[in-house]
Copies of this chain bind each other. A is one copy, B any other.
Amino acid sequence: MAQVRNKQVILRDYVSGFPKESDMKIVDSIITLKLPQGSNELLLKNLYLSCDPYMRILMTKDTSAGLGAHTPGFPLTGCGVSKVLESGHQDYKKGDLVWGITKWEEYSLVPATGMFKIEHTDVPLSYYTGILGMPGMTAYAGFFEVGSPKKGDNVFVSAASGAVGQLVGQFAKLTGCYVVGSAGSKEKVDLLKNKFGYDEAFNYKEELDLNATLKRHFPEGIDIYFENVGSKTLDAVLLNMRLHGRIPVCGMISQYNLTQPEGVTNLAHLIFKRIRMEGFVVSDYYHLYTKFLEFILPLIKEGKVVYVEDIAEGLENGPAALVGLYSGHNVGKKVVVVAHE
């Protein structure tokens, strides 16, 4: 039986405050590339790993978010694209490509549940960590199912160049909406306007008065705010929502690293404007995945939807890639390449 090196990204201990690279360590362990006798799991070779904001929430002992937690001393868990080396499950066979929940290491033994078989390989495989994976489904479900958009709606997206935001903006344009995005650098703002087709975009770090900024971009108010950040942005948005507006709440990345979250003060506007604010988690919508693929694959192939990835080469660069999310270092979807097949 072949024993090989299995490089891993291990969580040292639970994290409080902003995560640092040193909260993780790279170790070389040894793995036997053989499925244990009688196992119905999958032995995977990991190819691409996904850096997602929610992973910070799993770095705390507090599991009240209901997402589970990473375990100190063990590899991080997260979404990835992998190749099946050996399968104990009837739905998979050696050589299959899959995406789903795997671990931050070169080889993983994981349950087949929560895995999707990759049927379409005429697109970049890394897309299954992004536009064709969890973030893509998140944008699709959040915008279309929770946001209830209609042609002509005014849409605002925060973290708009991120893994999810870049798609929400493009979906909004395809729906005939007016869409404005916020991001944290000039480079990202340029991407929003010149690559993703946002009508307008601004760098929130340069705006002294977000309320005034939103009033300028939305003189008639916002119908849909796709919420990725929380806090001050949400507060300014609440002042600028239109009657019967919708706020799909996808994430609140500004809050994940704070021991004391910032307060949102303008919630009474939910009443005045009759706003529906609705949190959602993508896993409730995976029954729509086939429908989503039928929607998105032609758009990708025709160039009508584009996707920007920010690639880190090598598992050893994983900690920096992940940590960088929380200060906005990534430009587009952050992916870690473990192996090119």
Contacts and interface: CB of A to CB of B under 8 A. Distances in A.
Interface in A54-70: 64-67
A275 interface: yes
Interface string A197-226: 000000000000000000000000000000
Given A262-B265, A267-B230, A280 B274 contact: yes
A91 interface: no
Interface stretch (A11-19, A186-194, A248-256): A248-256
A263 B265 contact: yes
A273 to B, nearest CB: 7
A285 to B, nearest CB: 10
A251 B243 CA distance: 16
Nearest to A254: B268
Interface residues of A, number: 37
A276 B276 contact: yes
A314 interface: no
Nearest to A65: B272
Interface in A65-118: 65-67
B284 A64 contact: no
A152 interface: no
A279 interface: yes
Contacts of A31: none
A27 interface: no
A234 interface: yes
Contacts of A168: none
B284 A279 contact: no
Given A64-B239, A239-B64, A273 B267 contact: no
A269 B264 CA distance: 13
Contacts of A279: 269-276
A36 interface: no
- Complex A-B, nearest 10 residue pairs according to Cβ-Cβ distance, in ascending order: A263-B263, A270-B279, A271-B279, A261-B265, A65-B272, A276-B278, A277-B277, A252-B268, A249-B270, A263-B265
